A and B are shown apart, each in its own frame.
Chain A
Amino acid sequence: MFDCSSLYSANSGGKKRTYVELGKRGVAGIRLSGEKINGSTIAYLSRQLYFITHNYKKACRGIVIYCEKFVPADKLTYILFEAILYNLVHTYGYEVRLGWGDMSTAINTEGLSDSTIPKLSFYLQNQELYQRKFHFEQNERHFRRVFTSDQLKGDGVSKLLGDLKIFFLTSNITKKNTDQLALVISELADNVGDHTDADCLLDVDISKDFYTRDDDETGKYIAVNTVVLNFSPKCLGHDIKEKVRNHYYKESARYDAIQEAYENHKQHFDKNYDEQDFFNVVSFQDLITGRKGDTQTGGTGLTQLIKSLGKNAAEHSCYVLSGNRGIAFYPELLEYNADNWIGFNQQKNFIDHIPDEKVIFRSPTQLCGTGYNFTLVYRREKDELYGETANSVTV
């Protein structure tokens, strides 16, 4: 079951005080202000929901959420929001109402229009349809699946790759690029499934193709936005951290090198780069796995593919978030050295140098699990005129 309940406790705020009043008929209201729906909004909403689910339990019958402006910062943000709404309805059984003052999207969040969020009241009247739409969608611009870990075993990823290629057939992006995209997305699903038994949500949308760029008068641009998300008790670098710290591996020069790198990086640990970041970076190293006793698995494929994707796109914004820490993927920093270590730094040196400053970031949301957010913008291949209003590309 794809269940995001862990978001509420993880973002409960600790000592931060919060109070949500329970109104007549057991209805609680949450108002979300701010210019955008972003990581802070998700953290705030989760904190309020933790209070409601923890204190009122069944005394609360309904929750009304009102957003002054529903302008998501990126795809992962609205997907998390969508998962929360679905969880409140299907796991907790609350009556949920969602209202907003203004809703708008950009090239990287256009998929919101085909999510269950704008038509929530319709789906609440059709629960079966709601469940189906949340778990499965495939139309010209939108591809959604929720996989159990079993579905990603065996030939599951191969079938997914085939499905993604079919999905991209009708897009206005070159086949070379869509084939690469399909590969990366299926690799991400394989990667997520390999490290956890949690269910995995995959959502891909293709934007409309009328976006323009200031430095390109004739070009029209189109984006492919992808989220791969799981809610697992373990963060990205958790298993590998346990393995390295407790020496759960057979004799291995490669794992000894990780110990050496840890000692070097430890000297630079501070609020911007800490142990969790180090082990998140370790999880992308070749021939390193979190599984106990297993010394050599994994591969360089994923980061290499991400690099080639970024190089072929006109604009890109790709990151992975786990816990409240993230790694941003910059193509120029995704280089393995001769010994197949990836440093995420200009020195291309994992053992001696920490990642470049722009690579590691902190999120206000504590995500129990792992979420990949990929936005890749391409120049449109075909030249048909669509006669639609042009917008600027902002990723």
Chain B
Amino acid sequence: MNCMAKQQIQLQFEKIITNLAGNRFGRDTYIAQVKGKIDIEEKNIIEIPEIIEDVASSFVQGIYRELSEQYGKERALEIMELHSVRPEVMEKIEYAIRVYGI
């Protein structure tokens, strides 16, 4: 799987949003901004805007929900990867996936 091609999808939110939370919001974000662009044959890197300083586990679970329902949790994580340039946000995402799952 490491040799999968990569494509980037940049998420966009209102400028006043600095935190991402809510299972429903995660699901809605996936449908509105990711679903139409995702290629399951590639690794899809979902870029979280730099202004976002915190990502709640509920948002992570929500954004992965449809993919994990369709392809299973492991495959969903292979297909899609959340990414932020902020190390502390990456830590929170990784923690959320490790502890709470998707």
Q: Check A190/B23 contact, CB under 8 A, given A159-B17, A162-B17, A297-B65.
A: yes
Q: Check A304/B99 contact, CB under 8 A, given A186-B56, A190-B58, A296-B69.
A: yes
Q: Which of A88-96, A131-139, A150-158 contacts B (4 or more CB under 8 A)?
A: A150-158
10 A-B pairs whose Cβ atoms sit less than 8 Å apart in the complex: A155-B14, A157-B21, A158-B19, A159-B16, A183-B21, A190-B58, A296-B65, A299-B58, A301-B23, A340-B101
A159 to B54 Cα, complex, angstroms: 12
Interface size on A, residues (CB 8 A): 28
Please determine whether B16 and A304 come into contact, CB atoms closer than 8 angstroms. Answer: no
Chain A residues at the B interface, C-beta cutoff of 8 Å: 153-162, 165, 179, 183, 186-187, 190, 193-194, 296-302, 304-305, 340
Point out the residues of chain B lying under 8 angstroms from A193, CB to CB: 24
- B10 at the binding interface (Cβ < 8 Å): no
Kindly list 18 other residue pairs between chains A and B, CB separation below 8 angstroms, not including A162-B19, A187-B56, A190-B23. Answer: A155-B14, A157-B21, A157-B25, A158-B20, A159-B16, A159-B17, A161-B54, A162-B18, A183-B56, A186-B56, A190-B22, A190-B25, A194-B24, A300-B101, A301-B57, A301-B58, A301-B100, A304-B99
Point out the residues of chain A lying under 8 angstroms from B17, CB to CB: 155, 158-159, 162
Please determine whether B101 and A155 come into contact, CB atoms closer than 8 angstroms. Answer: no
Instruction: Give 1 or 0 for each of B28-50: 1 = CB within 8 Å of chain A CB.
Output: 10000000000000000000000
Minimum CB distance partner of B32 in chain A: A154
Minimum CB distance partner of B96 in chain A: A301
- B13 at the binding interface (Cβ < 8 Å): yes
Quick one: which of B21, B57, B101 contacts A158, CB cutoff 8 A? B21
What interface size band does chain B fall in?
20 to 34
Point out the residues of chain A lying under 8 angstroms from B101, CB to CB: 300, 340
Point out the residues of chain B lying under 8 angstroms from A183, CB to CB: 21, 56-57
Please determine whether B24 and A190 come into contact, CB atoms closer than 8 angstroms. Answer: yes
Minimum CB distance partner of A302 in chain B: B58
Closest chain-A Cβ to B91's Cβ sits at a distance in Å of 13
Closest chain-B Cβ to A190's Cβ sits at a distance in Å of 4
Q: Which of A161, A179, A304, A305 is packed against the most chain B CB atoms within 10 Å?
A: A161
A340 to B16 Cα, complex, angstroms: 35
Point out the residues of chain A lying under 8 angstroms from B61, CB to CB: 299-301
Quick one: which of B16, B23, B56 contacts A194, CB cutoff 8 A? B23
Point out the residues of chain A lying under 8 angstroms from B28, CB to CB: 153-154
Q: Which of A155, A162, A194 is packed against the most chain B CB atoms within 10 Å?
A: A155
